[in-house]
Amino acid sequence: MMTGVVSLIARSENTPPVLILNGTDLGALPHAAAAFSRPQRLLRRTSCSPDCPVTQRPASVGPDEGSARVRDDARPGEAYDVIVVGAGSAGAALAARLTESGRLTVLLLEAGGPDKDTSLHVPAAFSTLFRSDHDWSYDTEPQEHLGGRSVYWPRGKVLGGSSSLNAMMWVRGFAADYDEWAALAGPQWSWEALRPLFLRVERTVGTADSDHGTDGAVSVEPQRDPRPHTAAFLRAAREAGYPVETANALQPEGFTQTMVSQRRGARSSTATAYLKPARRRRNLTVRPGAHVNRVVLDGRRATGVDYLLDGRTRTATARHEVVLCGGAVNTPQLLMLSGIGPADRLRQHEIDVVADLPEVGRNLRDHLISGHIVRVDAGSLADAKRPRELARYLARRRGMLTSNVAEAYGFVRSDPSLALPDLEILFAPVAYVGEGLVPPPRHGITVGAILLRPHSTGAITLRSPDPTAKPLIDPRYLSDEGGHDRRTLLAGMRVCEDLLATPALRALTDGTYVGPEGAESLAPDERAALIVDGFAHTLYHPTGTARMGADDGSVVDPDLRVRGIEGLRVADASVMPQIIRGHTNAAAIVIGERAAELLLASS
Ligand SMILES: Cc1cc2nc3c(=O)[nH]c(=O)nc-3n(C[C@H](O)[C@H](O)[C@H](O)COP(=O)(O)OP(=O)(O)OC[C@H]3O[C@@H](n4cnc5c(N)ncnc54)[C@H](O)[C@@H]3O)c2cc1C
């Protein structure tokens, strides 16, 4: 790692300011002074690796102090009306909505820190957050059907949770996905019932569609500077016979440029969208660095939580309810550590069983992606590290650093007789190699297939009763008995090859593989199998591990209450009864919004 210094220097009142990076004069920036109301922000020591694709960490674009006013007043015997565990997509939205009316006091506990780091706010820097302090940095168990590899699973550990770390694709999924939730968990989860909540979440720029919110919390924008390769990809989709349409239709049927959760080219996380506007509320206490160890139970009633802060264990009391919003990995872990889960497994770890709920941690579903990475001559996001791009970003929030990387996508069917698409095709104008953990070795593009409706399910289980130990994550990718998932993913890989063979993409690439190198010499089927086994990875969408349902076997009921326990709910991606045909951030935020409604109605 090297240390970089970014400076903006005004040499005289009459000449535009000049940007200096590591002592190199990058030239005049006519718009810089206007773009930044406080130019001193631009003078900042930043960490940046010289090799990474997008690791230049430009001067501050996020809140200097993080999105929440942090109160460091943890004291023995502290009591609140509601305790929310986890300030992620759902938890931050929930805590902010609960405190709007001033009626309830809320303690929001977050294991990660405040969102001060610039890299959390500069879109194209998202993969530089991998394996950082802002990441729980999980790895799955070796996956039998992926050549025995374990797969890297990043999860946000910071205010905003995974919404502070994600790729900002705003892809709500199909109305039919939510209608399926309603079939499993009751009518309040149908698209029609959730529509007002989506509208409350979204502040969509440039839409006249009444199904899209325009004055909600999270800013949703068209990309400011997509790469020309993305336009070529959409031309390729047309050439291959697919429609190109606007994003987030109720039943998407084709390809589109990605809408992004950004505000003027900076990330719009739930920390910036929900917590920042709520930072002065006296009834909201946000406590980062607080790792919750377990729910405190009095018999079968949740009365608070134990948490670790600054090396000391503390207890906070909830007068009304505790809500777990730790995400699809940590929420089931926390339930099990609290004695709520499969009795036999809990006993193996000598945990007292409070409620025997066999499905805690089960029904894990995730989206797997498998991509073709081919060479292009120039202009990919591999150049995002260039000083010129940093200058453009700082001056006008333009250029490659505004990219969310996955700039376009489309929905397709592996079999034309299917009622709804079962595959998504994703496009990135960069060689996204090594699960995003390594820099692109050269210019390239990635065209990947995503298995939207996996039949395979996995599980989160305890590795240890130690709350700070990582749980076991076993998604059991492609393990379904009939081999449906593998067949479908391979069909998606063929769609990618068809797109790469169109004139629009042939004009960009000669088809030489950047990853895996030399794969152009293989037959398509052989190539696809090699890529799936050796390189398929998560699209970061784990769901379902505290499944909501109307049936007694579900972990939470349709009002998100943990079965058999009073005063305890779950609100995050773990309650999704079925994975959506979309990306999970918007849906997780909506779950937080619904939880707020439910708590306000019952308190
Ligand atoms: C790298 C990456 C890229 C992604 N890209 C996209 C995308 O482009 N579009 C999209 O729609 N979705 C994307 N997702 C998925 C999406 O962001 C998640 O589905 C969503 O954020 C999940 O929300 P959640 O509330 O369930 O959990 P999270 O947002 O993960 O929040 C859980 C919070 O709880 C905290 N926590 C956990 N355990 C404890 C504990 N014991 N004590 C205290 N706090 C705790 C965590 O630190 C975290 O802040 C991506 C995810 C990742 C990781």
CA 351 to chain centroid? 32
Q: Are 394 and 42 in contact (CB under 8 A)?
A: yes
Tell me the pairing of strands 368-375 and 513-515: antiparallel
At residue 157's C-alpha, the angle toward residues 153 and 159, to 5°, is 140
What are the extents of the domains in the chain? 4-49, 78-114+271-360+543-602, 119-154+226-257+365-538
Hey, whose CA ends up nearest to atom 52 of ligand 1?
166
Identify which of 110, 128, 166, 324 to mutate to test ligand 1's pocket (most ligand atoms within 8 A of the CB).
Answer: 166
The reply to whether 320 belongs to the active site is no
Identify which of 452, 576, 585 to mutate to test ligand 1's pocket (most ligand atoms within 8 A of the CB).
Answer: 585
Task: Return left, alpha or beta for 28; rule: phi > 0 is left, psi -120 to 50 is alpha, else beta.
Answer: beta
Residue 268: which of 170, 130, 394, 361 has the closest Cα?
170
Instruction: Give the pLDDT confidence score for residue 77 in this predicted structure.
Output: 76
Instruction: Give the pLDDT confidence score for residue 67 in this predicted structure.
Output: 84
Query: Taking each helix axis from N to C terminus, what angle separates 484-500 and 228-239, rounded to the nearest 10 degrees?
Result: 110
Q: 366 CA distance to ligand 1 centroid (A)?
A: 13
Buried b (16+ CB within 10 A) or exposed e, 75-86: eeebebbbbbbb
Kindly state the tokens that stand for 256: 């589109």
Instruction: Give the pLDDT confidence score for residue 62 in this predicted structure.
Output: 60
Task: Write the CB contacts of 104 (distance below 8 Å, at least 6 apart in sequence).
Answer: 81, 82, 98, 283, 320, 599, 600, 603
pLDDT in tens, 314-357: 999 999 999 999 999 999 999 999 999 999 999 999 999 999 99
Dihedral sign, Cα of residue 574, residue 575, residue 576, residue 577: positive
Ligand 1 neighbourhood includes 266 CB (under 6 angstroms): no
State the CATH class of domain 119-154+226-257+365-538: alpha beta
pLDDT in tens, 203-242: 999 999 999 999 999 999 999 999 999 999 999 999 999 9
Q: 160 CA distance to ligand 1 centroid (A)?
A: 8
Q: Are 310 and 317 in contact (CB under 8 A)?
A: no
Kindly state the tokens that stand for 102: 């001033």
Kindly state the tokens that stand for 495: 């769609």
Q: Which residue among 145, 291, 541, 583 is the active-site one? A: 541
Model pTM? 0.92
Kindly state the tokens that stand for 503: 């004139």
Fold of the CATH domain 78-114+271-360+543-602: FAD/NAD(P)-binding domain (3.50.50)
Torsion angle (degrees, nearest 10) of CA 171, 176, 181, 183: 180
Task: Write the CB contacts of 288 (distance below 8 Å, at least 6 apart in sequence).
Answer: 66, 68, 70, 87, 110, 112, 113, 114, 158, 159
Kindly state the tokens that stand for 469: 């130990």
DSSP-assigned letters across all residues of 275-295: ITTTTT-TTEEEEET-EEEEE
Instruction: Give the pLDDT confidence score for residue 603 in this predicted structure.
Output: 85
Ligand 1 neighbourhood includes 286 CB (under 6 angstroms): no
Q: Are 170 and 407 in contact (CB under 8 A)?
A: no
Q: 327 CA distance to ligand 1 centroid (A)?
A: 6
Q: What is the mean pLDDT of each run of 10 residues along the chain (603 residues)?
A: 38 41 41 27 30 34 68 75 98 98 97 97 96 98 98 98 98 98 98 98 96 98 98 98 97 97 98 97 98 98 98 97 99 98 98 98 98 98 96 97 98 98 98 96 98 98 98 98 98 98 97 97 98 98 98 98 98 98 98 98 92
Kindly state the tokens that stand for 216: 């909600």
